[in-house]
């Protein structure tokens, strides 16, 4: 696996707008959702999602939830052992529920979405990132056995214990929209982008090819190849 310094050098050469395309727009919209002094649920948090760690100055209380107990939860203010379709929180607890690369692992995504809506305050936001399954990379991942998937992910720096079974039961823009609207959520922003390069860090040449592929998908003619979905949905304000 190539170093982070080498990756940055290749970004500059082959995909200079990567940071803005992949992270910038989502970060700004997430900041708008958080505002200041937010109470946030990191759903499927593990030890704490890195995206939220960069926003800690906007978060008053950060609660993590996952189906396994991480060894270190120091990045979180509180951690609970639970599944997304059975959240042990009162109605209207959170300003934001954040889910980063978790939806693909949910056996019952619509049940989880209903729970997420329930624990959001009226006007609260569900912010997520998840793979788009009908793209070359994830069509391949979908048919791979979990054991092989773990071995392949370990080669790009992911601990095998952090690779969980995937179901991909809500992993297209259309499916996500249908299931989230079915539980009463309103779309605010949905965006697709590609991160093929992140799975090609074995050496400089594969990474450069991945970067060029991901950059090419920014053309609207190749948008169908983008393998990540980012979205923000809102629980509507209650009518008085």
pLDDT in tens, 156-209: 444 545 556 889 999 999 999 999 999 999 999 999 999 999 989 989 999 999
Q: Distance between CA atoms of 231 and 29, rounded to whole angstroms?
A: 10
Smallest CA-to-CA distance from 215 within 21, 24, 28 is with 21
Task: Kindly state the tokens that stand for 61.
Answer: 């209380």
**95 and 39 Cβ atoms separated by less than 8 Å:** yes
Q: Distance between CA atoms of 131 and 89, rounded to whole angstroms?
A: 27
Category of 197 on φ-ψ map: left (φ > 0), alpha (ψ -120 to 50) or beta: alpha
pTM: 0.89
Give residue limits of the domains in the chain.
Answer: 4-234
| Fold exhibited by the domain 4-234 | Rossmann fold (3.40.50)
Give the up-direction half-sphere exposure of residue 72: CA atoms within 13 A in the CB hemisphere. Answer: 3
Dihedral pair phi/psi, residue 102, rounded to 5°: -125, -35
Residue 134 is predicted with a pLDDT of 87
Query: CB-based contacts of 162: which residues, under 8 Å, 6+ apart?
Result: 46
Residue 1 is predicted with a pLDDT of 86
> DSSP per residue over 127-186, as a string?
EEEEE-SSSHHHHHHHHS-HHHHHHHHHTTT--GGG------SS-SHHHHHHHHHHTT-E
Beta bridge partners of 233: 126, 187
Task: Kindly state the tokens that stand for 150.
Answer: 């773990």
pLDDT-flagged residues of the chain (< 50): 148-150, 152-158, 160
């Amino acid at each position: 696996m190539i170093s982070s310094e080498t990756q940055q050098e290749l970004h500059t050469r082959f995909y200079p707008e990567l940071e803005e395309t992949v992270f910038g727009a989502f970060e700004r919209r997430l900041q708008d959702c958080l505002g200041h002094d937010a109470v946030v649920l990191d759903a499927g948090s593990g030890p704490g999602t890195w995206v939220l760690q960069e926003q800690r100055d906007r978060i008053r209380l950060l609660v993590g939830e996952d189906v396994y107990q991480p060894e270190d939860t120091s990045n979180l203010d509180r951690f609970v052992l639970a599944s997304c379709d059975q959240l042990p929180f009162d109605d209207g607890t959170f300003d934001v529920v954040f889910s980063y690369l978790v939806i693909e692992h949910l056996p019952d995504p619509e049940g989880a979405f209903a729970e997420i809506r329930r624990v959001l305050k009226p006007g609260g936001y569900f912010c997520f990132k998840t793979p788009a399954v009908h793209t070359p990379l994830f069509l391949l991942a979908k048919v791979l056995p979990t054991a092989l998937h773990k071995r392949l992910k370990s080669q790009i720096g992911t601990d095998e214990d952090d690779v969980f079974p995937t179901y991909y039961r809500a992993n297209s823009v259309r499916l996500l929209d249908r299931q989230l609207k079915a539980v009463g959520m309103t779309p605010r922003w949905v965006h697709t982008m590609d991160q093929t390069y992140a799975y090609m860090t074995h050496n400089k040449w594969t990474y450069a090819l991945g970067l060029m592929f991901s950059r090419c998908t920014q053309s609207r003619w190749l948008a169908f190849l983008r393998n990540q979905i980012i979205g923000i949905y809102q629980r509507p304000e209650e009518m008085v």
